[in-house]
């Protein structure tokens, strides 16, 4: 009886080790983020409850600051998960001929342009046409005064060779 129990425990350990090894090989393959290349793919992933990540290279965007088109955008890259969003079908809101999705993020950061802290607010608007507008503001936490406001513009979609913004589904 003691021999059979020992054999059973040994076989179970082998089986558990084999399953763990198989998971180490298989899980990373399925965990790779899937690029979303169209507005419809982005909306399908969001509406299905998948985790969607966004990465933006601001240097590849057109920058509008102080109501003037700037020659150069900052060498900065940012990323975020899209947890909350709102989708508007075409002609839902007055003046919107095309459907669009909006999402935003607000983080308290140390002020890179001065002393203390500021809220770093970023709002993204992605139209079904592929046009993307990103509004970035630094907001004083106590006074709510806007200390900096910039708008970045880029495009997203299968016909865009080198988009500044990329979306991934996990």
Which contacts (CB < 8 Å, 24+ apart) does range 70-75 have? 73/152
> Domain of 10?
1-32
Tokens describing residue 169: 């589904």
CA end-to-end span of the chain: 49
Q: Which residue has the higher pLDDT, 75 or 20?
A: 75
Residue 139 has pLDDT above 90, yes or no: yes
Residue 20 confidence class, pLDDT cut points 50, 70, 90 = low
Question: Do residue 10 and residue 78 come from a single domain?
Answer: no
Question: Do residue 103 and residue 165 come from a single domain?
Answer: yes
Question: Do residue 50 and residue 60 come from a single domain?
Answer: yes
Distances (CA, A) of 89 to 8, 43, 57, 127: 61, 11, 27, 10
Q: Which residue has the higher pLDDT, 67 or 108?
A: 108
Residue 25 confidence class, pLDDT cut points 50, 70, 90 = low
Q: What was the pLDDT predicted at 115?
A: 87
Which residues is 124 bridged to in the sheet? 103, 134
For 63, the enclosing helix (H) or strand (E) is strand 62-65
């Amino acid at each position: 009886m003691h021999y059979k129990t020992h054999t059973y425990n040994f076989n179970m350990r082998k089986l558990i080790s084999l399953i763990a090894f198989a998971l180490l090989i298989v899980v990373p393959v399925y965990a790779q983020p899937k690029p979303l290349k169209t507005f419809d793919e982005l909306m399908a992933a969001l509406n299905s409850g998948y985790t969607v990540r966004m990465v933006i290279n601001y240097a590849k965007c057109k920058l509008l600051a102080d109501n003037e088109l700037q020659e150069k955008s900052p060498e900065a890259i940012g990323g975020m998960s899209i947890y909350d969003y709102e989708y508007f079908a075409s002609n839902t809101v007055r003046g919107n001929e095309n459907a669009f999705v909006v999402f935003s993020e607000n983080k308290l950061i140390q002020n890179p342009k001065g002393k203390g802290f500021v809220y770093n607010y970023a709002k993204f608007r992605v139209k079904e046409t592929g046009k993307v507008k990103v509004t970035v503001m630094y907001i004083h936490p106590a006074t709510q005064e806007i200390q900096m406001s910039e708008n970045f513009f880029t495009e997203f979609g299968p016909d865009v060779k080198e988009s500044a913004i990329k979306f991934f589904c996990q």
